[in-house]
Structure 1
Amino acid sequence: MASIPGLRGLILAATAAVITSAGAVFVLIQPADETRKITGTVDAAPGLAWSVTAATDGHPQAEFRNPVGGTEFDVGGAGFVDAGDTLVTVTGTSNGGMALQDPTMVGIDATTGAVRWRTPAADLGGCGRVPVGGRLVCFAAPATGKGALVGYDVDSGEVTRTPTDWLVFALATTADRVYVAEGDVESDDVRVHAGTLDRPEANWSQAFPMGTSWEDVSADTLDVAHGQGLLTLGAHAAGFDLGTGTSTWTTDLAGCASTEATSAALVIRTAADCSGNGITGTDILDRTGRVLAASDATATHSLSLDQPADDTIPVLLGDGARDRHTGTVVWTNPDLVATNGTAIAVLGDVALLRDDFAHNMTGLDMRTGRRLWRIDTQRSGTADAWDGHVVVLSDATGLWAIDPRTGATIWDIPFLAVHDKPEAITGGGQLAARTNGRYVYASIHTMIGLRPLDHR
Structure 2
Amino acid sequence: MSTPTPSDGPTPSRRYGVAVGVGALMVVAAIICFFLPFGGTFGALIILLAVVYAFGASTGMDPFANARTTLEHLRVAASTATGVVPQESWQPAPPPPATPPPPATPPPPATPPPPVAAALPPAPPQAPPPMAPPPPPPPNHWSNGAAPGVPQQRSGPQQRSGRKLLWSLVAIAVVAVVAVATVAVVLVTRNTDNDDTGTVALPADILQSAYPDVPTRTFAVMSDEVGTSGTFRRPNYAIGGEESTGYLKSDKYAITGIAGGLIAINPATGEVAWIQDSAGVSGCSDVFDDQTIACATENGLVLLSAETGDVTRQLPGSEYTRMQKFGDKYAYARTDYGSAAVSLGTLDDPEAYWHREMPIAGGTRNELVVSDDIILWRDLSATGGWAMAYNEAGDELNPDPRNFGALMGNGWFVASGAPGGAVYNSAGEQLYDGIMHAAQPEMYAPAPGIEIAFTGGEVVDPSTGRELWNFADGELPPTDGLHAEVRGVVGSVVLANTFPRGGLLAVDARTGATMWKIPDGVSSYALTTDGQRVMGMDEYGTVTAYDVATGSVAWTVDAGDLGYYPKLFVVGPHLVAVGSDAMVGFTGSGEPAVLYDSEAASTETAAAQSDGKVTKCGSAPRVVPENFRATDGALVVRLKFTATCDGGDIVSNSGYRVTIRDQASLIASAQFNLGGSSVLALPRDGGSVARDFVFPAGTFWRLPASLSGGGGSNTSVSGGNQTVECTSEGSDTVSTGQEVSPSSSGGGGQLSGVPAAGGGVTADPARNALDALRAQANADRPLVQRDLAERWLAQISAKQVRTPPMVAVDIDDTTMVAWTPEEILRQHLALRSRYPEVRLVYSNEWSTFDLRDWWITVAQPNVADAVSANAWCDSAALAPNQCFAKLISNTRGSEGTTVYRR
Paired with 1:322 and 1:75, the residues of 2 have a C-alpha distance of 29
Deviations 1:337-364 (A, max 9, x none): 8424233222232111222357643211
Question: Match for residue 85 of structure 1?
Answer: 252
Q: CA RMSD in A?
A: 3.5
1:168 and 1:76 mapped to 2: Cα distance? Answer: 23
Per the alignment, residue 548 of structure 2 pairs with: 404
Question: Quick one: which of 410, 418, 427 aligns to 1:264?
Answer: 410
Alignment of 1:448 with 2:584, yes or no, is yes
**Equivalent AA in structure 1 for residue 529 of structure 2:** W
Which residue of the partner structure matches residue 50 of structure 1? 219
2:568 alignment counterpart: 431
After TM superposition, give the deviation of residue 106 of structure 1 in Å: 1.9
Rounded Cα–Cα distance in structure 1 between residues aligned with 2:460 and 2:226: 55
Corresponding residue number in structure 2 for 1:126: 283
Q: Is the Cα–Cα contact under 8 Å of residues 132 and 176 in structure 1 kept in the other structure? A: no
TM-aligned CA deviation for residue 158 of structure 1: 1.8
Q: Structure 2: how far apart are the matches of 1:408 and 1:64?
A: 33
Instruction: Provide the rounded CA distance (Å) in 2 between the counterparts of 1:249 and 1:154.
Output: 33
2:394 matched residue in structure 1 = 246
Contact 1:166–1:183 (8 Å) recurs in 2: no
Aligned length: 370
Contact 1:152-1:159 within 8 A present in 2 as well: yes
Provide the residue aligned with 1:370 in structure 2: 513
Mapped partners of 2:534, 2:514: distance in 1 = 18
Deviation at 1:212, TM superposition (A): 2.4
Distance 1:261 1:401, change over 3 A: same
**Maintained 8 Å contact 1:250/1:289:** no
The reply to whether residue 116 of structure 1 matches residue 116 of structure 2 is: no
1:341 to 442, 457, 481: 481
Residue 353 of structure 1: which of 481, 496, 506 is its match? 496
Kept in 1, the 8 Å contact 2:243–2:565? The answer is: no
Amino acid at match of 1:393: G
Letter in 1 for 2:305: D
Residues 302 and 344 of structure 1 are in contact (CA less than 8 Å); yes or no, is this contact kept in structure 2? no
Aligned residue in 1 for 2:525: 382
Task: Give how far 1:235 is off.
Answer: 4.8
1:89-122 C-alpha deviation (Å, 9 max, x unpaired) = 2212xxxxxxxxxx23222112111012222245
Query: Which is further off, 391-400 or 308-317?
Result: 308-317
Secondary structure of the equivalent of 1:55? helix
- Contact 2:493 2:508 (8 Å CA) reproduced: yes
- Residue by residue over 1:377-414, the C-alpha shift from the partner in whole angstroms, topping out at 9 and shown as x without a partner, is 33443342122221111221221111222212111123
Is residue 218–residue 586 contact of structure 2 (8 Å, CA) maintained in 1? Answer: yes
How far apart, CA to CA, are the structure 2 residues paired with 1:75 and 1:314? 28
Q: Partner of 2:316 in structure 1?
A: 164
Report the Cα distance in structure 1 between the residues aligned to 2:416 and 2:480, rounded to whole angstroms: 13
Match of 2:736 in 1: none
What amino acid is the match of 2:513? Answer: R
Structure 1: distance between partners of 2:549 and 2:373: 28
The CA deviation at 1:217 is 4.4
2:369 maps to which of 223, 246, 253: 223
**Aligned partner of residue 65 in structure 1, secondary structure:** coil
Matches within 5 A, 1:277-356: 284-287=423-426, 288=428, 290=430, 292-295=432-435, 303-309=441-447, 312-334=450-472, 335=475, 338-342=478-482, 343-356=486-499
Residue of structure 1 in register with 2:332 after alignment = 180
Distance 1:227 1:368, change over 3 A: farther
Asked if structure 2 preserves the Cα contact closer than 8 Å seen for 1:315 and 1:321, the reply is yes
The 3-state SS of whatever aligns with 2:214 is coil
Q: Which one-letter code corresponds to 1:193 in the other structure?
A: L
Higher relative contact order, structure no. (Cα contacts within 8 Å, ≥ 6 residues apart): 1
Q: What is the distance in 2 between the residues matched to 1:338 and 1:300? A: 19
> What code does the residue aligned with 1:414 have?
D
SS in 1 for 2:358: coil
**Aligned partners of 1:284 and 1:294 also within 8 Å:** no
Question: Residue 210 in 1 paired to residue 383 in 2?
Answer: no
Tell me if structure 1 keeps the 8 A contact 2:515–2:550. yes
Rounded Cα–Cα distance in structure 2 between residues aligned with 1:262 and 1:200: 29
2:512 aligned partner, one-letter code: G
The alignment partner of 2:321 has SS state of: strand
What displacement does 1:329 show?
1.6
Relative to structure 1, is the Cα distance of residues 293 and 281 closer, same or farther in structure 2, using a 3 angstrom cutoff? closer
Letter in 2 for 1:377: D
- Contact 1:308–1:348 under 8 Å retained in 2: yes
Give 1:434 shift. 3.9
Distance 1:301 1:382, change over 3 A: farther
| Structure 2 portions without partners, runs of 5+ | 1-210, 592-902
77 and 210 in structure 1: CA distance in 2 versus 1, 3 angstrom threshold: same
Listed one character per residue, the Cα deviations across residues 59-108 of structure 1 (whole Å, up to 9, x for unaligned) are 5x62112321369x99752222243322232212xxxxxxxxxx232221
| Secondary structure of 2:236 counterpart | helix
In structure 2, the CA distance between the partners of 1:329 and 1:52, relative to structure 1 (3 Å rule), is same
The amino acid that maps onto 1:402 is Y
TM-score (norm 2): 0.37
- CA drift of 1:125 comes to 4.3
Q: Aligned partner of 2:536: which letter?
A: L
**Aligned pair in 2 of structure 1 residues 205, 43: CA closer, same or farther (>3 Å)?**
closer
CA distance in 2, matches of 1:347, 1:66: 27
In structure 2, the residue matched to 1:67 is 235
Q: CA 1:124 to 1:291, structure 2 compared with 1: closer, same or farther past 3 Å?
A: farther
Larger radius of gyration: 2
- Per the normalisation by structure 1, the TM-score is 0.70
Q: Tell me the secondary structure at the aligned position of residue 405 of structure 1.
A: coil
Q: Give the structure 1 partner of residue 796 of structure 2.
A: none
Sequence identity, in percent? 19
Determine if contact 1:69/1:125 at 8 Å carries over to the other structure. yes
1:273-322 Cα shifts (integer Å, max 9, x gaps):
xxxxxxx97664444362624337xx968845234346742212233211
The structure-2 alpha-carbon separation of the partners of 1:261 and 1:450, relative to structure 1 and needing over 3 Å to count, comes to same
8 A contact 1:336–1:353 mirrored in 2: no
Q: Which residue of 2 aligns with 1:96?
A: none
The superposition leaves residues 181-202 of structure 1 with CA deviations (integer Å, 9 ceiling, x where unpaired) of 14656146x2412334xx2538
2:301 counterpart (135, 149, 152): 149
Mean Cα displacement is larger for which, 114-123 or 365-374? 114-123
Are the aligned partners of 1:125 and 1:169 in contact in 2 as well (CA < 8 Å)? no
| Structure number having the greater helix percentage | 2
Gaps of 5+ in 1: 1-41, 93-102, 273-279
- SS state at 2:338 partner: helix
SS at match of 2:269: coil
2:246 partner letter: G
Q: Which amino acid aligns with 2:583?
A: M
Choose from 280, 285, 296 the match for 1:139.
296
